[in-house]
Structure 1
Amino acid sequence: MKKILMAATLAAGAFFALNSAAAEKVRIGYWSSGVSLGYGTVLEEKDFLAKHGIQAEFIHFPDVNAPIKALASGSIDLAFGAPLAGVFSSAAEGVPIKIFAATQPADVQFVVPQGSPITSLDQLKDKKVGTSPAGSSVAVIATTLLQENHHIKPADFQLIGGNESRLAQFLVQKQVDAAALRSLTIEQLDELKVISLGSFADEWKRLTHSDAVPYIGVGAVRSELIDQHPEVVAKVIGALRDTLAWGASHPQDVSKLLQQKANLPARDANIYASRWNSMNQLTFEPTDIATLKRQHDVFVASGTVQGNVPDSLYDDAAYKLANTSH
């Protein structure tokens, strides 16, 4: 009997050891464009995840909404810059995902080409407006702000979707009248001169009467992983923090990495490195959760997002664990 119990104990120990080892392997997905491209490149090329005991498999997606679909299908475990609007919609449909951090503030501006007759956002009715693809956080926030602050309903303008470089091209070719572009992209523009009609931050403050800045990207994870292994997500959070700190203190190295691995021109890479802290962050304090909940309420009220989400969507267990072990 003792031998049987010992064998059973050893078998159970081996089982849990295997499960623990398997949990350390994390499939991380991100959109290979915009802000995510630069941060993802640094995260992938440096060894911060390995130092925290995470064996990462990176999966790149050409579509901004693809990481959400991959989380829903179980193709990836975690996304560090998932589009917030897509997370809300998926959670409302019952997809088992959770938010574990706020990662990308909405550093976005409405712009028109220099010389455009359009001088205010009120004039965008019946116009073509370029944003990130439909369903993205940028598209949802832009639509919400135009409707709520300027009485321009979704049916009153034509949304033209595309990645940042494509939208800049649309402006040059006059295929759109205005566009919602990240401040990073605006600074990177060379030949095209644009005029800002307003920022997401200022428009959001006008709408909500608060100083909170909305988020376009969040850290999203399969519910099963964070429920069963919050310590694994905490390790990822630690690595994400290390990546942020390293990028902030090594702008020249960030630029070199983006030129070598992401094929960015030197000028664009330098600009990205200089705006590192304004585009990337890792936080999930009560004020951040309150802002995310407010965003959901505003999106639902404006009709740009459908359905309610449970409070359990905002899971700070791994964040708190990371703070304890940091």
Structure 2
Amino acid sequence: MPAVTADTLTLPRVAVPDPEHAAERPVRSVTTAPTGVEGEGFPVRRAFAGVSASALDPFIHMDQMGEVEYAPGEPKGTPWHPHRGFETVTYMIDGIFEHQDSNGGGGVITNGDTQWMTAGGGILHIERPPEHLVASGGLFHGIQLWVNLPRANKFAPPRYQDIRGKQATLLSSDDGGTLLRVIAGEVDGHTGPGSTFTPITLVHATLSPGARLRLPWNPGYNALAYILAGNGGVGDERRPIHKGQLAVFGPGDVLTLNADTAQPSAEPNLEVLLLGGRPIREPVVHYGPFVMNTKAEIIQAMEDYRAGRLGVIPAERLPHAHGDLPADG
């Protein structure tokens, strides 16, 4: 981890924000993600647990899937299940995952790839390791993020984006100590390949031991930093943070992160998922796989799912029964 690497000395550099004209974003909170089980039994960390919805807006939910080394026969996925009203973003750091949906989208994502599925008005999908990985076992580690859709786009037609790891925009911090992989949105005028209904920025940053990153950040967006591996500090005050913790930043123009000089032997760098977006500021009612604006819309989504109006499982592959609603996924 991670799969996508580069020599930072050869990459475009992100300009250091002028401290006289750029306000530092303070750290509002640091929370620790509790562990849980998703789908057919794969372990997750609930990254957003304990954080207010207003601080997360436009994000709804995020799981760190793994990091786990499966024995042969152990890899697991999710059964067929519905979604409506938001987008799912699956970023695969290590391992392989297959996706298939009722809109004809699908593919295989592996080291550094991202699949971006807009559920919109409704879709059924399945995510699982391929059969050869189930047979052999292996390392599995990824992120699934849910991005809310504004009321005007809740019923947009479903779509699927397959973003290869090599398509991410690679940048370097000014001193070369940090590698930035821009998956979606914009950093210092450089844009990532992901196309989003809700304006967001999604970046995977690798800070070398002892590195300090001061990153310009859209002042109209919120700002979150989730630690995938390693130890460090967040904010100008260098508030301690480690693997499995989420930092929520307050308003401002600049994010600051620091990597400890000494890192765990198995995690040589500070790995951080940086995300932010323009708050939607609309009512949110979240029930299982549906994210809508009202309770009535949730009830309608459940009725539409049970009536088969959110899609039909493709006849050529029926690995799971079309059953009860899962909690998430």
Instruction: Please tell me the TM-score bracket, short chain as reference.
Output: under 0.3
Larger radius of gyration: 1
Question: Greater helix share, 1 or 2?
Answer: 1
Task: Pick 1 or 2: higher relative contact order, CA cutoff 8 A, min separation 6.
Answer: 1
